[in-house]
């Protein structure tokens, strides 16, 4: 699976991304979370988990690579919630950029690529975005993408921290947001 946008390639992680991934997820400037970052010793297990998700679901967080030079910019993707067999498929979208690559619109571009894939290719009805209240960078990206606040969102595992904010994008809203962007 590979998604190409104007400037980016969105793809599953590969072994060559392991060191860049570890640097990304252990950088306190990246997470914007009040909780401690992932300990370095847990990075490899998380990386292996994402590789397994790609093999089993063909869906997970993966690399954001700049087209042309192959630079690793960060990660983005869709994570499938396990909400039970009777529930409709529900995914969370997420992104994290290496600090040196912020401010160039890469997070918005990667997220748009994943939203389009989720709604048009996977046929999802709804995608959620969760972020910490104190993460202004992600809140800006969420706003630029056109997500709507979803204060009634209940995380399928029932464990969502109280200081996280939920936003939702429906397939219909994405169609309207995309059409509005194309018209401008």
CATH number of the domain that residue 164 is part of: 3.40.630.30
The average pLDDT across 83-112 equals: 88
C-beta atoms surrounding 136 within 10 Å = 11
Q: What does the pLDDT read at residue 39?
A: 79
Interstrand relation of 126-132 and 91-97 (parallel, antiparallel or unpaired)? parallel
Q: What does the pLDDT read at residue 50?
A: 93
**Whether the predicted pLDDT of 161 surpasses 60:** no
Q: What does the pLDDT read at residue 80?
A: 86
**Whether the predicted pLDDT of 7 surpasses 80:** yes
Give this prediction's pTM: 0.90
Place of tokens 């910019």: 73
Please tell me the number of Cα atoms within 13 Å of 13 on its side-chain side: 24
Note whether 178 and 118 are within 8 A (CB): no
The values of phi and psi at residue 45, to 5°, are -65, -40
Residue 139 lies in domain: 3-183
Total tally of structural domains belonging to the chain: 1
């Amino acid at each position: 699976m590979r998604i190409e946008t104007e400037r980016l390639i969105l793809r599953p992680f590969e072994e060559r991304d392991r060191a860049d991934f570890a640097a990304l997820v252990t950088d306190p400037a990246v997470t914007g979370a009040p909780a401690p970052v992932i300990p370095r010793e847990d990075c490899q297990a998380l990386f292996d988990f994402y590789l397994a998700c790609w093999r089993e679901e063909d869906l997970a967080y993966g690399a954001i690579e700049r087209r042309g030079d192959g630079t690793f910019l960060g990660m983005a993707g869709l994570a499938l919630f396990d909400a039970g067999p009777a529930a409709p498929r529900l995914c969370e979208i997420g992104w994290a950029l290496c600090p040196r690559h912020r401010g160039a619109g890469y997070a918005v571009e990667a997220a748009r690529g994943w939203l389009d894939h989720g709604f048009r290719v996977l046929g999802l009805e709804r995608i959620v975005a969760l972020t910490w209240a104190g993460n202004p960078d992600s809140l800006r990206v969420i706003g630029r993408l056109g997500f709507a606040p979803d204060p009634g969102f209940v995380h399928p595992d029932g464990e969502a921290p109280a200081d996280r904010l939920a936003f939702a994008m429906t397939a219909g809203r994405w169609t309207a947001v995309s059409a509005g962007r194309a018209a401008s």
